[in-house]
Amino acid sequence: MTQTQPKPPQNAIAYFTDVAQKAGLTVPIVFGGKDTKKYIIETTGTGAAIFDYDNDGWPDIFLVNGTTLEGFPAGQAPTNHLYRNNHDGTFTDVAAKAGLNATGWGQGVCVGDYDNDGWEDLYVTYYGKNRLYHNQNGAFTEVAEKAGVAGSGKAWGTGCAWVDYDRDGHLDLMIANYVSLPQPRGRHFRRCHYQSSHRPDRRSLCLQRFHS
Ligand SMILES: [Ca+2]
Ligand SMILES: [Ca+2]
Ligand SMILES: [Ca+2]
């Protein structure tokens, strides 16, 4: 069935039309329960980065993906996605070929050429160990441990930013961690119900229980 697009209102300065389906950007992002979110780990969602990973002059799209509390059978867990720009308004998922099809509780992503080789690299935060992907001609290698930026694996990494804070010509990395939680297994994780973002008093009580 052909869907008729609404016409932009007169004198509109900008007007946006959803072309995701036409562009091939249809893979769902998973983050906890689909219809119901019971625990705070399910509530933050994931990040996206638009950057030219293969230096062809056309911006590509990287999407971070998550998982569920129940998990998935081997080989069926949701992965991150890297959509290569086909130069015609469509995109092709090349995550596996590029080495970016990791699974887990992915969170944020930031783009920066940390080694100044002319290829943009990726840092992806996780509930667990964070990942640094070095870009070599459009193929990525995970080097977070080697680079000393994987973290302890016990923190909940969320936002991140590359910035040259000391102006020495080399990018530095800022990582924001969210609340402190035990690893998502066993009864301790299930003690904490995320009540509501508009009831910070309840949320605080919940977190205090974790730290007690
Ligand atoms: Ca490109
Ligand atoms: Ca680089
Ligand atoms: Ca620096």
pLDDT, average across residues 141-164: 95
One-letter amino acid for residue 205 of the chain: L
Of 16-30, 154-168, 169-183, the one with minimum mean pLDDT is 169-183
Res. 123: pLDDT tops 90: yes
Residues with CB under 5 A from ligand 1 (ion): 52, 54, 56, 58, 60, 85
> Closest-lying ligand to the alpha carbon of 51?
1
What pLDDT score does 2 carry? 52
Q: DSSP strand E in 20-105: where?
A: 48-51, 60-63, 81-85, 91-93
Residue 55 tokens, joined: 């230096």
Q: Are 117 and 134 in contact (CB under 8 A)?
A: no
| pLDDT of res. 182 | 60
Mean pLDDT of the chain: 86
Name the residue with higher pLDDT: 4 or 44: 44
DSSP 8-state class, residue 127 = B
Mean pLDDT, to the nearest integer, of 36-56?
93
Flag whether pLDDT at 209 surpasses 70.
no
pLDDT value for 41:
87
Tell me what percent of the residues of the chain surpass a pLDDT of 70: 83
> Which ligand sits closest to the CA of 162?
3
* 157 pLDDT above the threshold of 70: yes
Phi/psi at 42 (5° precision): -85, 0
What is the torsional sign of CA 43, 39, 25, 111?
Answer: positive
Residue 112 has pLDDT above 90, yes or no: yes
Considering only residues 198 and 204, tell me which one the structure prediction assigns the higher pLDDT. Answer: 198
If you measure from the C-alpha of residue 114 to the centroid of ligand 2, how many angstroms do you get, rounded to a whole number?
Answer: 5
51 with 68: CB under 8 angstroms? no
- Report CA(111)–ligand 2 centroid distance (Å): 10
**Spacing, Cα 198 to ligand 1 middle (Å):** 41
SS3 category, 60: strand
Structure tokens at 30: 């998973």
